[in-house]
A = this chain, B = another copy of it.
Amino acid sequence: MRDVAVVGIGVMRFGELWETPLRDLCVNASLQAVEDAGVDRVDSIVVGSMACGLFTEQEHVAALAADYLGLGPVPATRVEAACASGGAALRAGFAEVASGLSDVVLVLGVEKMTDVSGDATTAGLATAAEQEYETFYGATFPGMSAMIARAYMERYHAAPEHLAAVAVKNHAHGALNPLAQFQNTITVDDVLQSVLVADPLHMLDCSPVSDGAAAVVLCSAETARRARKRPIRITGVGFATDTISLYRRPDLTRMAAVERAAKAAYAMARRAPGDIQVAEVHDGFTIMEICSIEELGFVPRGQGKDAAPSGLTALGGRIPVNPGGGLKARGHPVGATGVAQACEIVTQLRGEAGKRQVPGARIGLTQNMGGSAGSASVHIFEA
């Protein structure tokens, strides 16, 4: 298998970008990544987008992106794995370069979610869940995540304050990231006093609905030698699935797909959880970061709730998680998230993260998931 490296990144500030059409989001992030890489060509494009058809009535977005980038006729395909679409696209781009089918691949993650009503957005996101036996009967992701949070709280005696601490930490990190959608700090009281979306989850336990795009340029190790900046190697790739039907999960507090994807990535990179110096983790809801850091092996099961309150996962802690603000503060245009996480880790490993820099970070990890961990993607990056 050929070695694969990230040589360019491009990410925009996410938000409610009313005046920026889907195609412009694609072009904006992609041109930044190509410029950053300093490559003179792109052989193929892989686009991660969860529901462009439902949110913008535009499927076939990969060909559209290639066209508006002036990169047609290169191959361009879209990859979808619900909210893990960005991570899945990164994996597909990795396979294209590793196989030799392409030498320089642009991996783009994009979602435009605010062009439809809030109800339509919630319904669109719910298509990532079990349609026939759960969504059809009214289940939504905030509701299902609340059930997971409730189960975790019962099992491990966690309190709403434990959940809130994750949002407080990620907003504090986002306040140091000029590209975060939310750059305001919040307190535990702010979270607990925000409107209750689905008990025990308050509004500030939930990541926002956002528009945005992020892109990375991948290439072979050989081509990477000619890159403008230090190449960041992708040394571990893991992806796994689990039933997307919560009612069929033996234990709501487990995210088995995350554990399996992580084990695969650690094995490929010949690394252990203790080797990871910085991580971007899928905090779509605060409870998800708590469960995820347990599955990633950063903390023992049941102790994820204490990581944020103790400072373990904060900048300056043993294993900083979501230094870029996470989905909570950076924003969560679903298809873009997995790629934006990669952009943040590459920025950290380049030592270009400014006020949010994790000193001396050389090994980083991204974890992206979809449909309550029905799909999970883990990548390990090394400087």
Q: Closest B-chain residue to A371, C-beta based?
A: B60
- A316 interface residue (CB < 8 Å to B): no
Complex interface: chain B residues within 8 A of A237 (CB): 101
Q: Which residue of B lies closest to A244 (CB)?
A: B63
Residue contact B57 to A135, C-beta cutoff 8 Å = yes
Q: Is the CB of A100 within 8 A of B98?
A: yes
Q: Are B81 and A60 in contact (CB under 8 A)?
A: yes
Cross-chain contact B99 with A60 (CB below 8 angstroms): no
Bound-complex Cα distance A124 to B57 (A)? 8
Which residues from 239 to 264 on chain A have a C-beta closer than 8 Å to any C-beta of chain B?
Answer: 239-245, 256-257, 260
Pick from B2, B131, B241, B245: contact of A73, CB below 8 A: B241
Judged by a CB distance under 8 angstroms, whether A180 is at the interface is: no
Closest to A102 in B: B95
| B77–A92 touching, CB < 8 Å | yes
Contacts of A64 in B (CB 8 A): 130, 244, 374
Decide if A62 is an interface residue (CB 8 Å cutoff).
yes
A100 to B72, CA, bound (A): 28
**Inter-chain contacts of A122 with B (CB < 8 A):** none
The CB with the most chain B CB atoms within 10 A, among A60, A81, A92, A127, is that of A60
Across the interface, name the chain B residue whose C-beta is closest to A370.
Answer: B60
Q: Nearest B residue to A123 by beta-carbon distance?
A: B57
Q: Is residue A290 within 8 Å, beta carbon to beta carbon, of the partner chain?
A: no
A56 within 8 A of B: yes
The smallest beta-carbon distance between A115 and chain B, in angstroms, is 11
Among B63, B99, B100, B128, contact of A81 (Cβ-Cβ < 8 Å): B63
- Known contacts A77-B92, A78-B81, A88-B77: A241-B63 contact under CB 8 Å: yes
Q: Name which residue of chain B comes closest to A259, CB basis.
A: B73
Kindly state whether residue A222 has any CB partner on chain B within 8 Å: no
Query: Given B59, B79, B131, B245, which contacts A79 in the complex, CB threshold below 8 Å?
Result: B79
- Give Cα distance in the complex from A127 to B242, angstroms: 30
CB pair A80–B80 under 8 Å, yes or no, is yes
Q: Is A75 a contact of B244 with CB atoms below 8 Å? A: no
Do A240 and B75 have beta carbons less than 8 Å apart?
A: yes
Give the distance in Å from the alpha carbon of A74 to the alpha carbon of B72 in the complex.
33
Cα distance A21–B136 in the bound complex, in angstroms: 14
Contacts of A50 in B (CB 8 A): 59
Q: Which residues of B contact A63 (CB under 8 A)?
A: 81-82, 241-242, 244, 370-371, 374-375
Which A347-382 residues sit within 8 Å CB-CB of chain B?
A: 370-371, 374-375
Docked Cα-Cα span, A67 to B44, in Å, equals 30
Q: When the two chains form their complex, are residues A1 and B101 in contact, meaning their CB atoms are under 8 A apart?
A: yes
A53 is an interface residue with CB less than 8 A from chain B: yes
What are 23 A-B contacts with C-beta separation under 8 Å? Answer: A1-B99, A53-B54, A56-B131, A57-B135, A58-B132, A59-B127, A60-B81, A60-B371, A62-B81, A62-B375, A63-B241, A67-B242, A73-B240, A73-B242, A74-B240, A74-B241, A75-B239, A75-B240, A78-B80, A95-B99, A95-B101, A98-B99, A98-B101
If A58-B132, A60-B244 are given as contacts, then 18 extra A-B residue pairs at C-beta distance below 8 Å, sorted by A number, are: A1-B99, A2-B99, A51-B59, A57-B123, A58-B127, A59-B80, A60-B82, A60-B127, A60-B374, A63-B244, A63-B374, A66-B241, A73-B242, A73-B256, A75-B91, A78-B80, A95-B95, A98-B99
Q: Top 6 A-B pairs ranked by shortest CB distance?
A: A99-B99, A75-B239, A98-B99, A60-B82, A58-B131, A59-B127
